[in-house]
Structure 1
Amino acid sequence: MDQKGQIWITKSLSEQQKACAQNSGLEVKEIALTKIQHLDFPKDLPKAEAWIFTSQNAVNNLSQNNFAGKVYASGKQTAIALKEKGFETKSGDSETAQSLAELIAEDGVKSALFFCGNIRRNELPNYLAKKGVQLKEEVVYHTLLDPKKIPSQKGDALFFMSPSAVESFAMMNEFDTELDYYSIGETTANTLRKKGVQKINTATKASFEAMLEQYATQNK
């Protein structure tokens, strides 16, 4: 493969993701532009038919594993994190919060707890509200911007996994037209567009692995 340049990953990777990057044979650099501050997991939780997780960060301090209701997860890494905590999850092909919300509504869930961060997307809460699902949010982590200067060069690629990473990048870097930009989903892509980026490669599935595969395909 005629590789164009280095790939800059703007978040901390899991061990599985690091292994995936290493096995790809691509030159990958990891430089996290956000930090996660985990909060104490709430002890007295209101009753609900279902628990919802859309980020593995929300699972980190989960201490209760005696919940008998349905547990929903979007994304492979979130489901893996919950399984390690002893939970079986329902996710189907739900790689996004929107598709997960549709699954929850189809299952006839009437009440749910949504474990999330202080910066979360609106698709899931808005969709479930329209479907009459009583949703209670529990903030279990905070996303903090951690801007850094990235020593990128012409032909390098930047991988963004969240709108927060885009905002953090903008604080100390320019959106150079000689760089290639990859986003994990449409929300992140829209944030890049607001910064003036016109050419964006958006992953077909919301995963790091899908982004790497897309990059490799486009740079054979």
Structure 2
Amino acid sequence: MKKVVLFKSTSEDYRKVCEDNNYEAIFVEPLEFIFINLQELCEKLKLADYHGIILTSPRAVEAISKCWSPSKYNIWNSKRIYTVGEASGHKIKLMLGLESLGLETGNAENLAKLITSENPVPSKFLFPCGNLRSEVLPNILKRSGIEVDPLTVYETKENNSLRENLMDLNNNVNPCCMVFFSPSGCEYVYRQLQTFNNKLSNLPHFAIGNSTAHKIENLGVEIAGVASRPRADTLIETVRDYFTSLDKSQKKL
């Protein structure tokens, strides 16, 4: 069974889909998160002048959950909650008890288009986010006349165990490919790979989303495939198609 390195926290969804397609998922978390500005977040959640909230990462949902009380913040039951993927949507339902929109959009540009199509101008949205957030979504919304109120609620840093985990992958695991889930994850992984001789840099690299793919390319590495949506089935289809095409090409030689 081929081993696929997923640079993310452990996910049973991804593990199961990999196993169902005869791949073994190896999870390596390149990031650590520190939550900040939670008191300010709690105060903003009390305000009634927002039309909704935009939560583009599971960490943003986790930040809200740290001060969340359904009775205290019941105004959000009648407001629009937008997210970009199913992982965040699941956390919103589980941790906050709220339904969310945009789960199938897959990226910031598509989510921004959905928000602009469903809301009047002017509208105002709270945007809890990380310190390394992309400006793609807020810029599109602002150009469309929708106000975004960003608040940094978590900071991203390199996982202290990353170098050790990468060396173990290189020396003991023998994976067939690597999958990256965020631009910051790419940066931290490659910062460590440059510190020792490794075989990992030569493996096929896959990305979740275009922003992560662009980061990999900026590091001078060729992309083997890009999953259009942050879903386990979409990713494994991308990986499977690559290796199927590779096998066909090698048979022709």
Same fold (TM over 0.5): yes
Give the equivalent residue in structure 2 for 1:43.
Answer: 42
Aligned mates of 2:103, 2:175 — CA distance in 1: 37
Tell me whether 73-82 or 146-155 shows the greater mean CA deviation.
146-155
Tell me whether 122-131 or 147-156 shows the greater mean CA deviation.
147-156
Checking the alignment, whether the CA contact within 8 Å between 2:216 and 2:223 is kept in structure 1 is: no
Is structure 2 residue 63 aligned with structure 1 residue 61? yes
Give the equivalent residue in structure 1 for 2:208.
Answer: 184
AA aligned opposite 1:134: E
Tell me whether 143-152 or 100-109 shows the greater mean CA deviation.
143-152
- What does 1:4-43 align with in structure 2 at a 5 Å threshold? 5-39=2-36, 40=38, 42-43=41-42
Checking the alignment, whether the CA contact within 8 Å between 1:189 and 1:200 is kept in structure 2 is: no
Give the equivalent residue in structure 2 for 1:168.
Answer: 188
Residues 151-172 of structure 1 show CA distances to partners (whole Å, capped at 9, x for unaligned) of 3377620110001111111111
**Structure 2 unaligned spans of 5+:** 245-253
Aligned mates of 1:135, 1:64 — CA distance in 2: 24
Checking the alignment, whether the CA contact within 8 Å between 2:5 and 2:175 is kept in structure 1 is: no
Pick the aligned partner of 1:195 from 204, 213, 219. Answer: 219
Is structure 2 residue 89 aligned with structure 1 residue 79? yes
Q: TM-score, normalised by structure 2?
A: 0.77
Is structure 2 residue 149 aligned with structure 1 residue 129? no
Aligned mates of 1:126, 1:202 — CA distance in 2: 24
Is structure 2 residue 138 aligned with structure 1 residue 141? no
Query: Share of identical aligned residues, percent?
Result: 23
Checking the alignment, whether the CA contact within 8 Å between 1:7 and 1:27 is kept in structure 2 is: yes
AA aligned opposite 2:42: K
Tell me whether 48-57 or 91-100 shows the greater mean CA deviation.
91-100
AA aligned opposite 1:117: G
Aligned mates of 1:186, 1:48 — CA distance in 2: 30
Is structure 2 residue 104 aligned with structure 1 residue 93? yes
**Structure 1 unaligned spans of 5+:** none
AA aligned opposite 2:119: G
Checking the alignment, whether the CA contact within 8 Å between 2:13 and 2:232 is kept in structure 1 is: no
Q: TM-score, normalised by structure 1?
A: 0.88
Rate the CA distance shift 1:71–1:64 in 2: closer, same or farther, 3 A. Answer: farther
Aligned mates of 2:233, 2:156 — CA distance in 1: 22
Aligned mates of 1:17, 1:176 — CA distance in 2: 21
Residues 67-118 of structure 1 show CA distances to partners (whole Å, capped at 9, x for unaligned) of 1311111101111111112111121631111111111111124111012111
Aligned pair count reads: 217
Q: Using the TM superposition, give the Cα deviation of residue 33 of structure 1 relative to its aligned residue in structure 2, in angstroms.
A: 0.9
Aligned mates of 1:95, 1:154 — CA distance in 2: 31
Checking the alignment, whether the CA contact within 8 Å between 1:181 and 1:201 is kept in structure 2 is: yes
Q: Using the TM superposition, give the Cα deviation of residue 219 of structure 1 relative to its aligned residue in structure 2, in angstroms.
A: 2.8
Tell me whether 5-14 or 149-158 shows the greater mean CA deviation.
149-158
